[in-house]
Structure 1
């Protein structure tokens, strides 16, 4: 029985915490604590995946069940610490957090404590407090071993109390408690928008227009992914043309060093794009054409 209570405490604590981390509003203090240690859980894939199912989950699952699970976890752990002996001293430590939780909920009802009163919260507090006692009395025939002195049990109880108080504080909201799922959904949409806004976009580095053979002024590339976008129209409507674009290192002359064009076509008209592979540095365009053209160099920035 002892092991069942211990592992029941651990599993219910993990489950309740998971609901908060995966499905609750980003204004919870615990998310700020995680950011201090460089854990950005709000933008994690598992949280985004979970929020997609937010609308099908009932409010009691999102807002009341975690509290009941934590109370259950606390009571089971305290019973384990006190070797399942119920007396005045052990009952004080077993019941202190459940009683604080229940009375704080009533305090919210009469506006003595900030927050929103919810009868469902009280129901889950009571269930979380009473179920371990029902399980204990159902197994009262089991022989219990004395493994800790009263002083050690008291010290362990203080530690468990502090730990669960810390969890309760971390799960509190910087804003007033709300059961509005739209708030969480909106936050998720905002996070997704911010992620999209941080993605790289194609940016025009240089644009050059003209007719026939021309060289451009120099421009700079940063070494990011780059491309040429161009449009070309041959003169004379003869059914064919000639258009070639060279991206040349500053200071070089393809008439002397030679080179391969990044774009070459003999079509009469063409509008397209082509990827170029260039390292960071300064370049210029050398255009050889039999008609009018516009060339733009873009980088992913």
Structure 2
């Protein structure tokens, strides 16, 4: 995995987790990880207290919608960057984006505050869309610039990339669900 791909995956993912960790409820999974470690927990509380001093200066979308867009961007980076079968991965990623937007509309119909499904927010759709468009543009640029040789493309490499996609989808589904499950 290239340094570029690692950066485009981990930076937005860690930034989104940091936002959850610093500014969201203490009942979320990311915060509960630290409650089991008393030494670390005291530092975590201090860091959150300092971060909360600046919370009033942040727009609500940075706390509630931006992490969703960062998660989708990161997901797209792992699926689209440095891949042989770009069109296949683009199709998978587009299906995931459509599913996420459809899930928001399901939240409008069946969700609400305090439900497992969550709460509908137009800004979530906006940030999903921004994350989707930005990683598609970035990955398309790199795909065109770093054109792979046809000699490198084999049935084995195609199968390998499909298996990787399945693993990545499983991992990112867990990462996306963790904040709200506990």
Q: TM-score w.r.t. structure 2 length?
A: 0.79
Instruction: Kindly indicate whether residue 103 of structure 2 is the aligned counterpart of residue 104 of structure 1.
Output: yes
The answer to whether the 8 Å contact 2:86/2:143 transfers is no
Aligned pair in 2 of structure 1 residues 141, 154: CA closer, same or farther (>3 Å)?
A: closer
Instruction: Kindly indicate whether residue 35 of structure 2 is the aligned counterpart of residue 27 of structure 1.
Output: no
Ranges in structure 2 where 5+ consecutive residues have no aligned partner: none
Instruction: Kindly indicate whether residue 137 of structure 2 is the aligned counterpart of residue 134 of structure 1.
Output: yes
The alpha carbon displacement at 1:122 in A equals: 0.1
Instruction: Kindly indicate whether residue 177 of structure 2 is the aligned counterpart of residue 169 of structure 1.
Output: yes
Alignment of 1:5-84 (within 5 A): 5-35=5-35, 40=41, 43-80=44-81, 82-83=83-84
Aligned length: 171
SS of the aligned residue for 1:171 comes to helix
Aligned pair in 2 of structure 1 residues 109, 79: CA closer, same or farther (>3 Å)?
A: same
Distance 1:18 1:85 in 2: 30
The answer to whether the 8 Å contact 2:9/2:77 transfers is yes
The alpha carbon displacement at 1:51 in A equals: 1.3
Distance 2:44 2:146 in 1: 49
Q: CA RMSD in A?
A: 2.7
Aligned pair in 2 of structure 1 residues 164, 81: CA closer, same or farther (>3 Å)?
A: farther
Moved over 4 A (4+): 36-39
Determine the structure 1 residue equivalent to 2:163.
155
Alignment of 1:132-281 (within 5 A): 132-145=135-148, 146=152, 149-172=157-180
Larger radius of gyration: 1
The alpha carbon displacement at 1:110 in A equals: 1.2
SS of the aligned residue for 2:110 comes to coil
Distance 1:45 1:159 in 2: 36
Report 1 or 2 for greater relative contact order, CA contacts < 8 Å, sequence distance ≥ 6. Answer: 2
Q: CA offsets per residue over residues 10-69 of structure 1, 9 Å max, x none?
A: 111111111111111112133334445665378432122111211111001111111101
Determine the structure 2 residue equivalent to 1:4.
4
Distance 2:8 2:36 in 1: 30
Q: CA offsets per residue over residues 139-185 of structure 1, 9 Å max, x none?
A: 454133348711221222122112211111112165xxxxxxxxxxx
Determine the structure 2 residue equivalent to 1:197.
none
Greater strand fraction, Structure 1 or Structure 2: 1
Q: 2:121 aligns with which of 115, 118, 127?
A: 118
Greater helix fraction, Structure 1 or Structure 2: 2
Ranges in structure 1 where 5+ consecutive residues have no aligned partner: 175-301
The answer to whether the 8 Å contact 2:8/2:77 transfers is yes
